[in-house]
Amino acid sequence: MRKRDLHAIERNLQRMRQRLLENLLRMEQENIRVPPRVANGDQHGSDGELADLASEHFERENSLELYLYEQELLKAIDQALDRIQDGSYGICRVCSRSINPRRLLAVPNAKLCLNCQQEKERNGHGSRFIKAHG
């Protein structure tokens, strides 16, 4: 991979990382750390109150799922940045071949070449192929 391409990917990863950190902080401030609304102690709330609580619970659950997804993405980006630093970036974790630079430009945190990624998707996360090589 050309150094110019690697630097462009690194800058892109840094921008992605910064956006994720900002999103995570905003979500923490808005949703995650705010305790859910608690009913006023009446076990037999009105249908409207119960619907509001159900809707609020659904929104908090979706926010939490997005928060967890973005944390995982941040972790993958940090790992990609570490691989750039240690010189292993762009090497498939399964077959040890070079990952196509066009793939890395499109998916800068890719750990697998396209062939190995497709094999993983065909066989699922728990496949023997990935376990034996990952």
Task: Please check whether residues 61 and 110 belong to one and the same domain.
Answer: no
Quote the number of domains for the chain: 2
Task: Please check whether residues 72 and 118 belong to one and the same domain.
Answer: no
Q: What is the pLDDT of residue 104?
A: 92
Q: What is the pLDDT of residue 59?
A: 80
Which mean pLDDT values do the consecutive 10-residue runs of the chain (134 residues) have? 88 96 90 52 62 77 88 95 95 95 91 94 62 41
Q: What is the pLDDT of residue 39?
A: 43
Task: Please check whether residues 68 and 10 belong to one and the same domain.
Answer: yes
Residues in the chain, overall count: 134
Q: Give the whole-angstrom CA distance, residue 11 versus residue 84.
A: 11
Q: Give the whole-angstrom CA distance, residue 72 versus residue 111.
A: 14
Q: What is the pLDDT of residue 44?
A: 55
Domain hosting residue 107, numbered range: 91-134
Flag whether the pTM goes above 0.85: no
CA geometry: angle 112, 114, 118, nearest 5 deg: 95
